[in-house]
A and B are shown apart, each in its own frame.
Chain A
Amino acid sequence: MAALLIALAIALPWAGALAVWVAGDRRPRAQHGLAVFFAAAGGLCGLGLLGVPSSETVIRVPVGGVFGDFTFVPDGLGIFLAAIATVIGSMAVLFSVEYMKGEAQLGRYYAFVLLFIGAMAGLVLTSSLLLLFFFWEITALTSYALISFHNDDPKAVAGGIKALVITQLGGIGLLVGALVAYVNLGSYDIGLFLARSHSLPPQVLTVIAFGFLVAAAAKSAQVPFHTWLPDAMEAPTPVSALIHAATMVNAGVYVLARFSPAFEQVAGWSTAVALVGMVTALLAACMAVVTDDLKRVLAYSTVSQLGYMVFAIGAGSALAGSFHLLSHAVFKALLFLGAGAVIHAIGTRDMRQMGGLGRQMPWVSSMFLVGACALAGIPPMNGFWSKELVLETALGHGAWWGFVALLVGAGLTALYTARMVWSVFFGAPRAHHHAHDAGPAMRIPLVLLAFGTLTTWLLFGPFAHMLAEVLPGVHDESTLAFAVHVMTDPATWLAMGIVAGGLLLWHIRARLAALVGRLSLAAQVAAEGFGFETVNRFVTQAVRSTATALQRTQTGDLSWNAVGIVGALILVLILLAWGGIP
């Protein structure tokens, strides 16, 4: 049963990608229908997987040779992420029916979205390091293709290339780690690796641990690789909601959570992870305060919240990180889809041209408000509970510096959330727009996600139970006990005070004008991404110029290609005569 569901959760979206492509761009109605059907079927399989958790290898495809076995294990951590990917994926596809109506080349769009959903489900369900790397690269490819979907827009093309180059850089870390593990253990199996990691030489484990940290930081947009995510906002908004908020960027957090039991013994690894998460959470929150593009504010807030998750894992609680991941996936998908409805209605992303849209779009604004409350950490939304759990982890594991930094981050989050909601939906209209409220295909995902935002924290009990079987050190706790202990923790009240302070700051902003004026230099530095932008641009530029230089080797001349083939053949013969590769 579990084997069938895993196969379907991956294969159904991929079959859908093929079906949409076969249907052809001349039949957009069929394409919309097929995409929604296959995505929803995949979503049902993802939900079904939640019922059959197991730590057995249920699918084993022997590939032979150095590729090892391709294995899949439906354990707690994997199935909950697979459910997020497929369910939020189907909502994003449903939302696209209205958002992408009338766009050209829908086949390309839906094919890549569905390819992504299947690959993401595979990434979290596989227990083979090599297969993990393959799925990891497929998600990077689809992310690139969808960021650059409007390929006549140079900004979209540049954003796509940047995302591809930076995440590939991280992918190298993952590949090196996987190969080092294979050389030392003779297997790609993740379960075997976790069980035998203590028998590996410490320097080998260090290489793997930091290789995976680089991979995770690049994929999850952590400092110093975070600048690709805001530029990825050129993608169509449902794609931003699905790939760049709810699922793909969580792959890094997933890898850290999955391997944290093995890497905790590596000296300095936990501290490095916690530091990366903390710095990212703070810096990104600062950048979100000074940005005027609605989607970029959401992108920075995604980076910041991912920082919270990474910090929680570094501080020693994969449960807190994963639980915040679940909450964030739901409420950030809601916020992005809400923002998509706004952008679709008025045709701009600049918040300076919005304002007062709440009266014209009551549906969207009320749903957006639910998501915003969760982001700011206001009870009883799911974001509140999981953020408190992260903060409590910081305090409980002796990382008081992290606790202070994350408290400041929580205040900043409340501030930029208030600023965003106010500039879009309240106040006086700053430009004349005839905004229409969302249609049914947009409303269904919004309502479902808003419902999820209000309720997913109630699933804490089963969630902790599921993870307790996978990750050592996670203890089972019922939802009620969890709620009681969060509400009686003084840290919670301190955090709520800070959040209220953040909201208050926005309320009295007029009186702070003089202070803000004095901070304009800091604001400018924040708006320019604290200089990391330069580093990331340099990396992208270096890769592009290398590619241009290597372009000359592609002469297209048959004779030269034959020389290449024969040369490689001779090299292989020499190696074989020499006794093979050592």
Chain B
Amino acid sequence: MNLPPVAIAWFGAMILFGVGLYGLLVVRNLIKLVVALQILAKAAMLAFVAAGYAQQQMGLAQSMIALIIVADTVVAVIALALAVQVRRRYGTLDVRQLTALRG
């Protein structure tokens, strides 16, 4: 089997996306949820690498990825800070029990 590098990166991105999505849907711990979100973002980055390589526009892809890294870090920091606050206020990190928005 002799796959082109783009296809390998693309499959990698798909697998990462699947793992992240699965985590997002089933994980109950808020901190693990943040980890799942991070994996999703990594999938997006890898997809950008693959797309940039395929289109011969690595410069654009790299600048996009740099942007995602920054945004992603901010998301992680704020999400973890929120998780700390949630733990302090509700005494739990189980998202199934955090249903204050139920209609």
> A residues touching B (Cβ–Cβ < 8 Å)?
550-559, 562-563, 566
Contact = CB atoms under 8 A, between A and B. Distances in A.
B25 A559 contact: yes
B70 interface: no
Interface string B62-103: 000000000000000000000000000000000110111111
A566 B21 contact: yes
B26 interface: yes
Given A551-B103, A552-B103, A553-B103, A558 B21 contact: no
Nearest to B95: A558
B78 to A, nearest CB: 16
B99 A559 contact: no
A557 B103 contact: no
A554 B103 contact: yes
A566 B100 CA distance: 22
5 contacts: A551-B103, A553-B103, A554-B103, A555-B99, A566-B24
Nearest to A569: B21
B95 A557 contact: yes
B103 A558 contact: no
Contacts of B24: 559, 562, 566
Contacts of B25: 559, 562-563, 566
A558 B100 contact: no
Interface residues of B, number: 13
Contacts of B49: none
Nearest to A554: B103
Nearest to A565: B24
Given A555-B103, A563-B25, 15 more contacts: A550-B103, A551-B103, A552-B103, A553-B103, A554-B102, A555-B99, A556-B98, A556-B99, A557-B99, A558-B33, A558-B95, A559-B96, A562-B24, A562-B25, A566-B24
A568 to B, nearest CB: 14
B101 A556 contact: yes
A555 B99 CA distance: 7
A399 B33 CA distance: 71
Nearest to B36: A562
Contacts of A554: 101-103
Nearest to B101: A556
B100 A556 contact: yes
A562 B33 CA distance: 11
Contacts of B100: 556
Nearest to B26: A559
A557 B33 CA distance: 13
Contacts of B26: 559
Contacts of A563: 25
A99 B95 CA distance: 49
Contacts of A550: 103
A566 B95 CA distance: 18
Nearest to B103: A554
Nearest to A550: B103
A556 B102 CA distance: 4
Contacts of A552: 103
A551 to B, nearest CB: 4
A555 B101 CA distance: 7
B65 to A, nearest CB: 20
Contacts of B103: 550-556
A559 B32 CA distance: 13
A214 B78 CA distance: 48
Contacts of A557: 95-96, 99, 102
